[in-house]
Copies of this chain bind each other. A is one copy, B any other.
Amino acid sequence: MAFTRYLTLTLTTIFALTAQLAIAGPKSVILIIGDGFDDQHVTMGRNYLKGQSGKLLLDNMPVRAAVQVETVDADGNRLYVADSANTATSIATGTITQIGRIGVDAEDRDQETVLESAAKAGLRTGLVTTASITDATPAAFAAHVTVRSCEDPVSVFGTEKYGMQLPGCPQDAKINGGLGSIAEQLAEGPVDVALGGGLQHFVIADEQGTSALDRAKDRGTYVALTNDELLGYRGGDAPLLGLFDESTLEVRWQGTDGRVAEPVKRSFLNYIHRYLGSATPPDIMRCEANPEYGDTPSLKWMSEVAITKLSKDNPNGFFLMIESASIDKKSHDRDSCGSIGEIEQLEEALAVSLEYAKTNPNTLIIVTADHAHAAQIVPEPSLYRNAPVPIYSPGRIARIETREGHVMRVNYATNNMNSEEHTGAHVPLYGNDSAKSVIAPFMTQRDLYHAMMNYLELSK
């Protein structure tokens, strides 16, 4: 009986294979990166959006893997926690590199990216993000600078952020014979569609008074600065550039009245001795609409526009990277609702991608993260709630009422100051049926580069 069933299955597969060869069309890759979207965050998203026993769209994907993150420092030592620049560079170029590097290896040599190889082979290419389009993740697919903050013709000579002096990369400046800042490289590079934030970096002029936006317009790029202008886009061969915010796009959600995770309130006695007094956790909050969101284009809508532009009348396929960036940014801010809203945005972008792949089965869809992050789901209340002493996290906690009506407590406790740290766990990867031929259950981020190159039959 087993054998009969096996033969039947074989015949079914042969028919399916034949059908697929007939209609499949050119090969394309849609790579969706949830920035900081580790297994704690995936679970936060599931618990909040679908309930503990529910399923994300992600959870229905037929391929699941873990992806190891690799980072070196200037001396070749391994660093066990990465940033978005070096990880996106590993995924985009198949190279291990240093923190802060964009499209260059650990010795600062430019590396051709999968997007550039795709463009060279005649495929169309796109970048969509809820961050600045010049931010590390999108930048690493289409630019080459030694420092991630070299986003425009001014910061390429150095800048300051969070009270820290950020080095520039003057050797990359156009005036010094380099490729220019990230914004300039994006404006002039092979990207057919780039949608996100980061307008501030495109309007800053260089010494000659030329901005990256000028450069884009000079080559006939259609520029949309509002959702309405994006709605008005009518297609065509010229590149499309959408810049819908000065920097990062507003996120969809926030906590009640904009609250984020807070420390427990310790009673006076607890300061005298940790066995004494009491510690009161912050009030429960709900996720609510972020009043600043306004008519910010959704990740779903930007993804739809990009997929349409990249696929229409295109016999050669495309490479598209879509980033839900503020899962990470809101985890730095200890804003669980902010992160969860952006996980919902990622799910919507995935839905659009899967819908496209339904009629275009030669589409490899990968969802992954670049690095893990600080947020941890912790017990509500403590596992030690019956202990006769005050028990609490030394960090900040958010107590979120989920859609199913129960309280999820999220802990942020990696950093005493204003921004949480990334963490070092390997990251999840999800793939559609097309991923079965190129994705192994365990890979490095370099392997993921090779998997995409192999799928698209590209070489450097």
Query: Could you tell me which A residues sit within 8 Å of B by CB distance?
Result: 2-3, 6, 10, 14, 17, 21, 38-40, 42-43, 46-47, 51-53, 55, 58-66, 68, 70-71, 77-81, 83, 96, 99, 162-165, 274, 279, 372, 374, 376-380, 382-384, 386-395, 402, 404-409, 411, 413-417, 419, 421-426, 428, 430, 441-442, 444
Contacts and interface: CB of A to CB of B under 8 A. Distances in A.
Given A81-B379, A386-B164, A394 B416 contact: yes
B374 A376 contact: yes
Contact of A409 (B80, B393, B430): B80
Given A394-B394, A441-B61, A78 B404 contact: yes
Nearest to A374: B376
Protomer copies = 2
Given A80-B380, A406-B77, A47 B424 contact: yes
Nearest to A391: B417
A380 B423 CA distance: 10
A424 B376 contact: yes
A444 B389 CA distance: 35
Contact of A377 (B55, B81, B163, B394): B81
B2 A6 contact: no
B164 A384 contact: yes
B40 A372 contact: yes
A403 to B, nearest CB: 11
A423 B374 CA distance: 12
A442 B408 CA distance: 21
Nearest to A266: B416
Contact of A383 (B58, B394, B406, B422): B422
Main secondary structure of the interface of A (DSSP, over half): loop
A208 to B, nearest CB: 32
B408 A80 contact: yes
23 contacts: A2-B21, A39-B66, A39-B428, A46-B426, A53-B68, A53-B70, A53-B96, A64-B441, A79-B406, A81-B377, A81-B378, A83-B383, A164-B387, A274-B417, A376-B425, A378-B421, A383-B421, A384-B421, A390-B416, A391-B417, A393-B415, A394-B415, A411-B413
Q: Which 8 A-B pairs have the closest CB atoms?
A: A377-B424, A413-B413, A64-B441, A59-B442, A81-B379, A394-B394, A78-B406, A40-B425
Given A10-B10, A70-B52, A376-B376, A413 B394 contact: yes
A422 B165 CA distance: 38
